[in-house]
Chains A and B, each alone.
Chain A
Amino acid sequence: SQQGEEDPQALSIQEGENATMNCSYKTSINNLQWYRQNSGRGLVHLILIRSNEREKHSGRLRVTLDTSKKSSSLLITASRAADTASYFCATDASSSGTYKYIFGTGTRLKVLA
């Protein structure tokens, strides 16, 4: 079964609005990452947040992590048409140090110009 589950499955917003996507997971993690996938392409790493961090920023991206609720959110501010993509969270829960990430099913974001 999936470790991470994104919510919503699909999101459609106007250009300039903020987009928020959520990820819930089941077991304790070492860190959590967010990736973007443009249609039919590979995934691109966006940001990593460690289990002892609560918030992280990168440009227009803001990620929060609440380990007590086993959830994370990705906020994209002032969205652009180019942000249209699928977004995935990935969690590393390995105790063996193999850094094997488990991916969720993704949120499909559509930004309308």
Chain B
Amino acid sequence: DVKVTQSSRYLVKRTGEKVFLECVQDMDHENMFWYRQDPGLGLRLIYFSYDVKMKEKGDIPEGYSVSREKKERFSLILESASTNQTSMYLCASSTTQGARGYTFGSGTRLTVV
């Protein structure tokens, strides 16, 4: 069964900490994405990558960075966590054509205290 795996379901971090969210896919997909989901705001794109070592900013990249050193792994980094980054983070992947849709991970619920 193909899947996208996010390393943690729940995470609690302190303000100012550097936070790493990991995402691994086993489908050999070229594209990978990080979204955050907040009530009333839907899913908002943070960053995406269409190839190893390639990345592009989404709609809300401020306060985040990403790393894609290998095709199967896409990491989201919160350089200095803040309380307004408390959210559900969703990773997704797709083929280059994207026409079969995204495959999502189960999500990481991050709380910054």
Contacts and interface: CB of A to CB of B under 8 A. Distances in A.
A43 B106 contact: no
A79 to B, nearest CB: 22
Given A99-B96, A100-B48, A44 B104 contact: yes
A98 interface: yes
A98 B50 contact: yes
Nearest to A4: B42
Interface of B is mostly: strand
Given A40-B107, A45-B101, A101-B98, A2 B90 contact: no
Nearest to B39: A105
Contacts of A50: 99
B43 A99 contact: no
B90 A42 contact: yes
Classify chain A's interface size. Answer: 20 to 34
Interface in B78-100: 88, 90, 92, 94, 96-100
Contact of A45 (B31, B33, B41, B100): B100
A101 B102 contact: yes
A103 interface: yes
Contacts of B4: 42
Contact of B31 (A40, A99, A102): A99
Contacts of B104: 35, 42-44
Contacts of A84: none
A88 B42 contact: yes
19 contacts: A31-B99, A40-B88, A40-B107, A41-B106, A42-B4, A42-B90, A45-B101, A48-B99, A88-B43, A98-B31, A98-B50, A99-B97, A99-B98, A99-B99, A100-B33, A100-B48, A101-B98, A102-B45, A104-B42
Interface of B: 4, 31, 33, 35, 40-43, 45, 48, 50, 56, 58, 88, 90, 92, 94, 96-107, 109
